[in-house]
Amino acid sequence: MDESGDVAKYQQYFERFAVDGQLDKQGFRSVLQCLEIDPPQRVVDDMFAEHDKDESSQLSQDEFYEWIKDRLKSKSEMRDSLMQSLDILFPGTDRVPIDDLLAKLSELGETFDETEAAYARMTLEEFDSNNDGAIDKSELMNCFYSDEMPQEENPETVE
């Protein structure tokens, strides 16, 4: 999804949960849940406080927009870092065989028990859209942005 699509989606969620143009902490948590982000309450509190510049215990539309900009910037930086890491780990290729990727993770100290290894393989295979046994950069981007799949029309707030 492009940045303008992200902003429109986030704005839609703001409007759904805001009261009188302000988003309280529970409304902010509801927005996060719509985005399939469910951090511990302490993290929600920290994110909310960081963007509640006027300390009103409410996020204005401008304060919420600053959170959106920070989130999009973070995602972009993370994506760029991931791509650079792949270029370093697997130079000169745009596709990495799943077995090689799992082996490299093990080599770098990532330990998988049998269940975790099977789950990691299954997850990577799900994103191997052309079923060639490798993950290419476009498939990796699909994996990276998998949290942007269409959401329910009327998500419920979870207490």
Per-residue pLDDT reduced to its tens digit, 53-99: 999 999 999 999 988 888 777 777 767 777 777 778 788 888 888 88
- Give the predicted TM-score (pTM) of the model: 0.52
Q: Which helix (H) or strand (E) holds 121?
A: helix 114-127
Angle at the Cα of 58 from the Cα atoms of 67 and 149, rounded to 5 degrees: 40
CA distance 31 to 16: 9
Residue with tokens 């406080």: 49
